[in-house]
Amino acid sequence: MIQVLDLKFKEYITAEQIQARVREIAEELNTKYSGKNPLFLGILNGSFMFIADIFKNVNIPCEVSFLKINSYQDTSSTEKIKELIGLNQSIEGRHVIILEDIVDTGRTLDYILRTVLAQKPASVEVATLLYKPSATIIPVPIHYVGFEIENQFVLGYGLDYNGYGRNSNSILIKVDE
């Protein structure tokens, strides 16, 4: 059992499973985006490890940029999306690949997609490490899913509980007491 602040967690997806799946997704992207000079748009904070590991395994010419969005407090969505750092470069005419750590209710991704599409990119796809289909309230298009997971709070590999627990190589799941 692993304690983070006042909650208990156990290992759910190992570091090896994550790295293997990230390499598979990066390979798909290498093939699909060859010759297209894609722009990876990483959604901070939670995705920073996923962004880095995808980027290390992508071997075609490409760029990376970041959006910083926040809506979670404790273990649930505040339903209020805060944009803390916005887009700082033009994405018009670019092939954009959004990199998210997790799609839960879908609210964050819905907001991001509206923001991105307003700037007339050539195309937009979404890659998320984790997807909770049974938690989704706003349906959003997702093209690359690392792992579909159950509707329970998770952390690690960049994902936090009130700022803590991001520095785990594996994904941990909350244990009910």
Ligand X SMILES: O=P(O)(O)OC[C@H]1O[C@H](OP(=O)(O)OP(=O)(O)O)[C@H](O)[C@@H]1O
Ligand Y SMILES: Nc1nc2[nH]cnc2c(=O)[nH]1
Strand partners, 42: 66, 99
Tell me which of ligand Y, ligand X, none is bound by residue 45, counting a contact when its beta carbon lies within the kind-specific cut-off of 5 to 8 angstroms.
ligand X
Least Cβ distance, residue 108 to ligand Y (angstroms):
8
Site membership for ligand X, residue 165 (CB under 6 A): no
In the bound state with ligand Y, the residue whose beta carbon lies nearer, of 51 and 102, is: 102
Mark whether 101 is an active-site residue: no
Is the Cβ–Cβ distance between 87 and 119 less than 8 Å?
A: yes
What's the CA gap between 93 and 123, in Å, rounded? 8
Is the Cβ–Cβ distance between 47 and 158 less than 8 Å?
A: yes
Site membership for ligand X, residue 108 (CB under 6 A): yes
What does the per-residue mask of binding to ligand Y show for 90-129, with x meaning CB under 6 A?
Answer: ------------x-x-------------------------
Looking at residues 2 to 61 of the shown chain, list those that interact with ligand Y (rule: CB under 6 A). none
What's the CA gap between 47 and 49, in Å, rounded? 6
Q: CA of 49: how far to CAs of 73, 79, 87, 112, in Å?
A: 20, 24, 20, 19
Looking at residues 54 to 83 of the shown chain, list those that interact with ligand Y (rule: CB under 6 A). 72
Tell me which of ligand X, ligand Y, none is bound by residue 70, counting a contact when its beta carbon lies within the kind-specific cut-off of 5 to 8 angstroms.
ligand X
Residue count of the chain: 177
Is the Cβ–Cβ distance between 95 and 35 less than 8 Å?
A: no
Binding site for ligand Y (CB under 6 A): 72, 102, 104, 153-155, 159-161
Catalytic residues: 104
Residues binding ligand X (CB under 6 A): 43, 45-46, 69-72, 77, 100-109, 160
